[in-house]
Chain A
Amino acid sequence: MEQQNARYQSIEHLHRQLEEKERELEELRYQFEEARETIDAIRNGQIDALVVEGKDGHQLYTLQTADRTYRVFIEKMTEGAVTLSQQGIILYANTQFANMVKYPLSSVIGLSFDQFITPKAISQYRELFQNCWNADAKGEVYLLCDGDKIPVQLSLTTLELQDGLALSIIITDLSFQKTIQEQLRQRNEQLEIINRALEISNHDLQQFASVASHDLQEPVRKILIFSHLLRENLDLLSPDSIKYVEKIIESSTRMKRLIIDILSYSRLSANDFGIEEVNLNDVTRELLEDFDLQIEEKNARIIVTNLPLVQGNKGQLRQVFQNIISNALKFVKTDVQPIISISGKRIATKSFNSREDPGGDFALITFEDNGIGFDEIYLSKVFALFDRLNSKDKYEGTGIGMSIAKKIIDKHNGLITASSKEGAGATFKIILPLRHTPS
């Protein structure tokens, strides 16, 4: 009995020992499992620090490696980022990608990436996917996101992970860029349409002015010729009739001049612009010869000093000088000898306030007269098309001359201005660049 009791006791002891060993084993298994998880976590980058129990108590080990910076960077960047297996399955995705495709982050992992590509873009994606294993690849596709689609750029790069090659794709949302591009394209298109319309209308207008003027000239010429012939038959006409014929001649002469002026104004825009060295002294001398009769008739004195050599269109510059001189000869005071002075100097900058500079790049030409002048409140009207400051009964003219002058000076990248006081003469100033630069 005692012997039996002793055997029981030893069995019980063994049993207890066994149970204890099993507990120890369990404990070790648990520790092993824990260690393995920790290693996995470290490997996957889920752990930033770990505590290890050592001889001197607990010790903290932190994992301050480049890896952590990289993970934060991927998570925070505005681009979507995914890692794909060689089969195209999403192994990893950042939050941004999940937001793009409007999927919960947790359910993105494990899905095939190509299910987020629109059907139209899928073949392009497959090609990128195939090629990227040899060399980095980039392409623009549309990403499906909950029924919507967004334009994105994919940048594919292979990654060497511990269990073989994987693929990293950076997904850049191009929506904003595309919207801007689209807006820009639309604006450009609109601009082009407007431009074309403008060109056509400009051309039409020129054509119209040219045709109208050509075709208007001939009837006016006929009116003039036949009324001149009529006036010759003085003995057949009553005094009143002679007066009427005179009026017809006067009006048609004026109309003829108007037509010619409109024509030259409209041709200014069309004319090809031949540039040469123009000696303004020669231009003025030739012009004064043309005005010889008028100068003599009005007993005018013309003083010309020191005009520069400029690059420009000789015919057009001549026209400017002609219009200004003709104005000066036209608007004279009846009781004073007309004096017109034309002078030039070189200035430093393209400004009427510029200082004189003998080596300057610009020429300032001043036309000064002692005629009837004008009130400066009408300055803007001087250069406006068809605006006249004086009644046409007293001073003939069409009101186009100074507009032509301004347009020509504009085309030469120059400036023109006038100053005057009523009754105290007028001054016209022109600035021309010495060297012509196409605008």
Chain B
Amino acid sequence: MAPKNLLLAKDDGDDQQLFRDFLVHRRDVTLMPIAENGVELLAALELIKHANDLPSIIILDHNMPRLNGLQTLQILKREKRYSHIPVIVYSTYVDDDLIRESKDKGAFKVVSKPFTKEGYHSMIDEFVLSITKHSK
């Protein structure tokens, strides 16, 4: 099975590094260059020429400068070229409001940030599993 391309937008350097450290050993997921915020993420997507090279999962940190997670999500879902890509909203604190708003805007999942290495891995496991189910 081809590895899933994962595109991530988040402004927190520590968290970016954690993603890189934890994912570098995984064969089922390739981490694309991480965008600092929603604006950068959209710009990075624009640069991808072939639809085949588009990411299979997009993870958006909710708390980002310029375009936050929900705003970016809304733009992605309006673009025909990107609307099929499952988007995961990722936040330190997840409450009912965030879940409702994200789902309304077409988010695939809303998750709270893990507290351990195992947490990161099981989170990614779950993404991969549900994306595989989703695309079948």
Q: Which residues of A lie under 8 Å from residue B95 when comparing CB positions?
A: 263, 267
Q: With A222-B14, A225-B18 in contact, do A214 and B92 touch (Cβ < 8 Å)?
A: yes
CA A47 to CA B108, docked complex, whole Å: 101
Distance (whole angstroms) from the CB of B13 to the closest CB of chain A: 11
Measured CB to CB, the nearest residue on chain B to A217 is: B92
The residue of chain A having its C-beta at the shortest distance from the C-beta of B120 within the complex is: A225
B117 in the interface (beta carbon within 8 A): yes
> Quick check: B116 and A224 within 8 Å, CB to CB?
yes
Q: In this complex, which of A213, A217, A218 has the most chain B Cβ atoms within 10 angstroms of its Cβ?
A: A218
The residue of chain B having its C-beta at the shortest distance from the C-beta of A315 within the complex is: B96
B11 CB, min distance to chain A CBs, angstroms: 12
CB-defined interface of B113-128 with A at 8 Å, one 1/0 digit per residue? 1111100000000000
Decide if A228 is an interface residue (CB 8 Å cutoff): yes
A221 & B117 in contact (Cβ 8 Å cutoff): no
A321 to B116, CA, bound (A): 29
Q: Give the distance in Å from the alpha carbon of A221 to the alpha carbon of B18 in the complex.
A: 12
CB under 8 Å from chain A, chain B span 1-39? 12, 14, 18
Residues in B neighbouring A271, C-beta threshold 8 A: 96
User: Closest B-chain residue to A223, C-beta based?
Assistant: B115
Q: How far is the CA of A267 from the CA of B12 in the complex (A)?
A: 26
Q: Do residues B117 and A263 form an inter-chain contact, with CB atoms below 8 A? A: no
Report the Cα distance A214→B98, complex, angstroms: 13
Within 8 A of B (CB), among A383-421: none
B82–chain A nearest beta-carbon distance, Å = 28
A225 with B92: CB separation less than 8 A? no
A316 to chain B, nearest CB (A): 10
A228 B93 Cβ-Cβ under 8 A: no
- Complex contact B96–A221 (CB within 8 A): no
Q: Does the CB pair A225–B116 fall under 8 Å?
A: yes
Q: How far is the CB of A67 from chain B (nearest CB, A)?
A: 79
Residues of B near A260 (CB, < 8 A) are 93
Tell whether A127 is near chain B: CB-to-CB under 8 Å: no
Establish whether residues A225 and B117, one from each chain, have CB atoms under 8 Å apart when the complex forms: yes
Shortest beta-carbon distance, B98 to chain A, in Å? 11
Tell me if A37 is interfacial: C-beta within 8 Å of chain B: no
Cβ of A267: which chain B residues have Cβ within 8 Å of it?
Answer: 95
Note all chain A residues with C-beta closer than 8 A to B113: 221
Contacts of A218 in B (CB 8 A): 12, 92
Is A214 a contact partner of B93 (Cβ separation < 8 A)? yes
B86 to chain A, nearest CB (A): 24
B93 touches A213 (CB 8 A): yes
> Does A182 sit within 8 A of B, measured CB to CB?
no
CB-CB under 8 A from A214, the residues of chain B are 92-93
The answer on a CB contact under 8 Å between A228 and B96 is no
Choice from A213, A228, A263 contacting B115 with Cβ under 8 Å: A228
Complexed CA–CA distance, A218 and B93 (Å): 9
Chain B: minimal CB distance from A393 (Å): 22
> Quick one: CB contact mask for A38-71 with B, threshold 8 Å, 1 for yes?
0000000000000000000000000000000000
Task: Flag if A228 contacts B116 (CB, 8 Å).
Answer: yes
Task: Find the B residue at minimum CB distance from A259.
Answer: B93
Inter-chain contacts of A213 with B (CB < 8 A): 93
Q: Which residue of B lies closest to A214 (CB)?
A: B93
Which residues from 101 to 136 on chain B have a C-beta closer than 8 Å to any C-beta of chain A?
Answer: 113-117
Contact between A224 and B92, CB atoms less than 8 A apart: no
Residues of chain A lying within 8 A (CB to CB) of residue B96: 271, 315
A232 CB–B CB distance under 8 Å: yes
Taking a contact as CB atoms under 8 Å apart, the answer to whether B93 and A263 are in contact is: yes
Say yes or no: is A309 at the interface (Cβ < 8 Å to chain B): no
The answer to whether A229 has its CB under 8 Å from any CB of chain B is yes
Interface check A256, CB cutoff 8 A: yes
With both chains docked as a complex, state the minimum distance between the C-beta of A233 and any C-beta of chain B, in angstroms.
12
Which of A221, A228, A267, A271 neighbours the largest number of chain B CB atoms within 10 Å of its CB?
Answer: A221
Question: Once the chains are docked, how many angstroms separate the CA of A225 from the CA of B93?
Answer: 16
Cα A271 to Cα B18 in complex, Å, equals: 34
Query: Which residues does chain B contribute within 8 Å of A315, judged by CB atoms?
Result: 96
Complex CA gap A278/B66 in Å reads 41
Distance in Å: Cβ of B20 to nearest Cβ of chain A: 14
Instruction: Determine whether the beta carbon of B93 is less than 8 Å from that of A217.
Output: yes
Report B120 CB to chain A, min CB distance, Å. 8
Q: Of B12, B14, B116, which is in contact with the most chain A CB atoms at under 10 Å from its CB?
A: B116
Min CB distance B14 to A, Å, is 6
Q: List 28 A-B contacts (CB under 8 A).
A: A213-B93, A214-B92, A214-B93, A217-B92, A217-B93, A218-B12, A218-B92, A221-B92, A221-B113, A221-B115, A222-B14, A224-B115, A224-B116, A225-B18, A225-B114, A225-B116, A225-B117, A228-B115, A228-B116, A228-B117, A229-B117, A232-B117, A256-B115, A260-B93, A263-B93, A267-B95, A271-B96, A315-B96
CB-CB nearest 7 A-B residue pairs: A224-B115, A217-B92, A228-B116, A218-B92, A217-B93, A214-B93, A221-B115
Known: A217-B92, A315-B96. 4 other contacts (CB 8 A): A218-B92, A222-B14, A228-B116, A256-B115
